[in-house]
Amino acid sequence: MGLSQASPRHVATLIPAGSDGIDRLVWRCAGCGQVHAPHVKGAGSAPLAARWEWNGSLETPTLAPSLLLHAHGGGQVRCHSFVRDGAVQFLHDCGHALAGKTVAMLPEDADPWAYDDEEAPDGPNAR
C-alpha cells in the first residue's frame, strides 16, 4: 500500500474570458481581506486585454508587474504587492498590518484574516 499524496491546494481561481475577452486570476488577499482579480494573459484572453503576465499556476502563481489596489469597505486601504511563486510580498506603502512582510497566499478555503499583527512576522507563513 503506497502513500497517497495530497493534491495541491489552489490559492487562486482562474475566471476564463467571457464576452469581454479578459481572463481574471482571483484570490482573497491576506493583507486587506479583499478579493483581487487582475486581468491576466491566459489562453482565452484577448491580446490587448491582459495587463499582468502570469505563469499559469493556480498553486504557486507569479504575476508581473506589481499590483496596486485601493480596497474599499469600512475605509480605503492601499494594498501594493508582488506575487511570486505563491507568496505575496506586501510593499512598505501598504495601509494594512502586513506592510513590509511576505506571506504565503491563502488557500481558496482559508480565512482571509488568518494573519494578525502579532502572528504575521513570526508565523509559519512569514518569510
Q: Where are the domains of the chain?
A: 13-104
Residue of 69, 73, 8 whose CA lies nearest to 39: 69
* pTM score of the predicted model: 0.73
> How confident is the model over 1-48, as pLDDT tens digits?
444 444 557 788 888 877 777 788 999 888 988 889 898 876 566 666
110 pLDDT band, cuts 50/70/90, is low
Residue of 85, 92, 104 whose CA lies nearest to 29: 104
Phi, psi of 85 (to 5 degrees): 50, 40
With DSSP H G I counted as helix, E B as strand and the rest as coil, what are the percentages for the chain, rounded to 5? 0, 30, 70
Distance in angstroms (rounded) separating the CA atoms of residues 20 and 25: 15
